[in-house]
Chain A
Amino acid sequence: MNAKLLAGLFITLLVIVGVAAFYAGSIYAGGVVVGEAKTWTPPEKVKAAWIYVGPVGDFGWTYAHDVARRVVATLFSDWLETTYVERVDENKIAEVIDNLVTQGYNVIFATSFEHMEKTYEKAEQYPNVMFFHCSGYMRRPNMATYFADLYQVYYLNGLIAGALTKTGHIGYVAAHRIPEVVRHINAFAIGAKEVGEQLGKDIKVHVIEIGDWFNPEKAKSAAMLLYTQYNIDVIAFTEDSTAIIEYAQEVTEKYLRGEVDRPLYVFSHYSPGYVYGPDAVVSGQLVRWEVIYIDILAKIKAGVYTPYNLEDVDYWYLLNTGAVDLGAHIYKNGSVMHINPKFIPMLKGIEVTDKLTGEKVSVYELVARRYEMFKSAPLLGPLQLTATTHQYESIDKINIPPIDPASPDPQSQVDYYTGTVFEPFTGPLRGYNITNPSQEVIIPAGKRLTHDDLWTMDWFLSCVNYVGKP
């Protein structure tokens, strides 16, 4: 056949199909409602898609999101249809969203910080699709943000780390030096210092930033460097694989056999990592994204969330909601192993002072008390859902006016805690600015950091030593 004819035919065909598809696409993609009265009927069938930055098998961040996806897909199976696309970085997300919308997905969860700008652009382009972006700060009428934060859990891990370390040197492998991770490192260091200093240790937290969310090799070599060069015996991390847990288990096994002088105890990150290091994993951070996804999807189904009212929807969920938890393992019956039983006797044997009450308690008891304080904050939950109410989270307590000032009624004399009774980020705290280490940061005694302070944290506690990139 004549090659030119063939090419000509092909191009003609393309143009025809193109024009047809263009119109079909533009009708589908909406813009239909723009300018009209914004009445909204919740979709009969919700088609929700999750966009992941990593592989679903990472056993960290992405795995946790996908577990949650499967929970909601099973729970709401009569009206919810789900799908996911994995390994989507910034250069692919626009195409992925285009394809999802073209296929009729009306709720899209973008689960990585780097998805933010592109998701925002696409939300502008598809005003009838609801977008939910995890960990970012850009919102619009059809784009909300949500996050389950682990800083309280890192603080609890820190308390344990401060008790376990013998050298006083603690490691931390960080993915990126962004406020979220900085906040976690500081919370961990605050906990470690609180217990460690009482036991006469000079606590130092050495941080290596690997520059990747998921990179088992870099994570492992960073942990190895910290163990061999910085004399650490406890480590925590923010990276989405089990590489550091496996390395810590290897070292701890050697220690138990008497081949090395110190173990490497580790706190598992995001997914329950106990099974990868039963001798080395002490505790860790767990997340239940399903707590947030159930809430979002139920509200979409009920017509509470629409593409026109998401501008101030901003979930900032802490331990009180159950979206995060302290632990490294979940038993088959669903209950959580908060602390590896192997370490409990040791932690029960170390005595410290609870600085809130002045009582002498074991570290185990201290962790339990703080956990309880974070858990039970009945007024905090409703404040954590919207951008406009975050400011009230850092008010620790209020008192209501009495009916009759002459004889105050009993409830008017009670403290109402809007936040948690105890907040790790309460002054006095000392640190240094990350970009300009000579600039000192001082949080005066008694000052509680606000949601915004935590959200934009750009300073390290003075006991944090930023080693840099490996």
Chain B
Amino acid sequence: MASISLVVVKRVKPLPSWVAPLLSFTLGIAVATVLLWIVTLGRTDPIVVLASIGRALAMPQLLLKNFALLTIVGIGLLVSFKASVFNIGGEGQFYFAIIAATWIALFSGVGAIAIINKVLMLVVGVLLAGFWALIAALPRGFLGIDEVPVTLLMNYIAYYIVDYLVFNPWREPKYKYPRTPTIPEESWFIRIPGTTGTIELILLTVVVMAGIWYLMNNTRLGLAINVMGSNPNVLRVVGINPSLIVVSSLVISGMIVGIAGVSYLAGEAHLITIPAEACTPMLGYTGILVAWLSMLRIAYVPVAAYIVSALINAGINIQIAGAGKASVVDVFIGTILLIYSISVIFTEYSVKIIVKR
């Protein structure tokens, strides 16, 4: 009797960390292309799909906005992931920042005053986003209530609050369409000609990257967050309350995502449309992918953000080329994340097939 068994062995030396992301991008694109070709019975031409992705990758001027926003969101989520706190609530924090910034721009009376308006939009937006994260952070930190369902469900609460505000008190008065009025042009971020990005957005991206890099590498809090992810008991030993670290990582994470929210409103959307749950650019969720693909390293977040934003753009190009529908891009992103999740296991473990006689 021969028996075959699969044995999972921990690798003595893990594979280099770039293997998993690289493998998931290349293999993910290949698998998704073949998958689409099969399920559409050959109507989705793989060559057109690959050409669209290539074209998108080669057009940074069209990707700038998504690239920068995804970088900010990715960095923000990374801060919480580092502490093993899984902030799935990026969408809610994003929208709370938008609520605050919209209020400042439209109803506070300072909307048209240069500099003050943008500074206030950012400050209040970031604070409100942090507050929204705090609501999930406190029960996680002090009661140990799992943050994943809490932050996820709070996204929907945020969506519905936005829907209520825009449908009722904030509805634009001229045409009564369910959206807010356009925020004053003085509060718009300044577009970089020929690109989709804005000057403020690029500055914020650089500041966020540098700031978080400094925080994580040169401060006590950053160190504690890093340690929290691997062994919270160490913190107790050195006299740091792990609860506080959990709370601060989630709140900082939310605040950074809030920066992306304000930038999205002031640089791109200029008004809120509802239903938010359908009109959202989904950056809070896509940012999770970016953070994971960066292997939680700040320097790689922009790389992952660039590729993901290229894929989003490729989805549009695939439609323009007549090769597929709007959902094509979801297939790509889903496949890449799936392959990443699988391959990341194999960087630390190997599988051996043993045949016994």
Given A17-B60, A18-B61, A22-B61, A7 and B300 contact (CB-CB distance below 8 Å): yes
Residue A11 CB within 8 A of the other chain? yes
Bound-state CA distance A21–B273 (Å) is 32
Residue A14 CB within 8 A of the other chain? yes
Residue A176 CB within 8 A of the other chain? yes
User: Which of A14, A26, A49, A456 has the most chain B CB atoms closer than 10 A to its own CB?
Assistant: A14
Bound-state CA distance A91–B268 (Å) is 8
Give the chain B neighbours of A469 by CB distance below 8 A. Answer: 167
Give the chain B neighbours of A102 by CB distance below 8 A. Answer: 59, 62
Closest chain A residue to B192, Cβ basis: A22
Closest chain A residue to B22, Cβ basis: A6
Residue A58 CB within 8 A of the other chain? no
Residue A3 CB within 8 A of the other chain? yes
Count of chain A residues near B, Cβ 8 A: 50
Q: 0/1 per residue, B270-282, Cβ < 8 Å to A?
A: 1101110011110
**A14, A96, A103: the one within 8 Å of B306 (CB):** A14
Closest chain B residue to A114, Cβ basis: B273
Residue A94 CB within 8 A of the other chain? yes
Residue A292 CB within 8 A of the other chain? no
Residue A99 CB within 8 A of the other chain? yes
- Bin chain B's interface residue count: 35 or more
Given A3-B18, A21-B59, A22-B60, A85 and B316 contact (CB-CB distance below 8 Å): yes
**B61, B173, B177, B193: the one within 8 Å of A21 (CB):** B61
Q: 0/1 per residue, B169-190, Cβ < 8 Å to A?
A: 0000101111100100000000
Give the chain A neighbours of B182 by CB distance below 8 A. Answer: 117
Residue A113 CB within 8 A of the other chain? yes
**B16, B62, B269, B303: the one within 8 Å of A11 (CB):** B303
Closest chain A residue to B163, Cβ basis: A211
Bound-state CA distance A29–B61 (Å) is 12
Give the chain A neighbours of B176 by CB distance below 8 A. Answer: 176-179, 434-435, 458
Residue A95 CB within 8 A of the other chain? yes
Q: 0/1 per residue, A92-119, Cβ < 8 Å to B?
A: 1011101110110100000001100100
Bound-state CA distance A176–B175 (Å) is 10
Residue A90 CB within 8 A of the other chain? yes
Give the chain B neighbours of A1 by CB distance below 8 A. Answer: 16, 18
Bound-state CA distance A149–B96 (Å) is 38
**Shortest distance from the beta carbon of A440 to any chain B beta carbon, whole Å:** 19
Give the chain A neighbours of B270 by CB distance below 8 A. Answer: 117
Give the chain B neighbours of A26 by CB distance below 8 A. Answer: 61, 193-194
Looking at B128-136, B199-207, B317-325, the stretch in contact with chain A turns out to be: B317-325
Residue A212 CB within 8 A of the other chain? yes
B-side residues, CB < 8 A to A, are: 16-18, 57-62, 65-66, 167, 173, 175-179, 182, 193-196, 268-271, 273-275, 278-281, 299-300, 302-303, 306, 312-313, 316-317, 319-322, 325-326
Q: A1-B16, A105-B320 are in contact. List 16 more A-B contacts (CB 8 A).
A: A7-B303, A14-B306, A21-B61, A25-B59, A25-B61, A29-B194, A49-B320, A83-B322, A88-B326, A90-B271, A91-B273, A102-B59, A113-B177, A114-B177, A178-B176, A435-B176
Q: Can you give 24 contacting A-B residue pairs, CB < 8 Å?
A: A14-B60, A17-B58, A21-B58, A21-B60, A22-B60, A25-B194, A83-B319, A83-B320, A83-B321, A85-B319, A86-B326, A91-B279, A91-B280, A91-B281, A95-B312, A98-B196, A100-B320, A103-B320, A114-B177, A117-B271, A176-B178, A179-B175, A211-B178, A211-B274
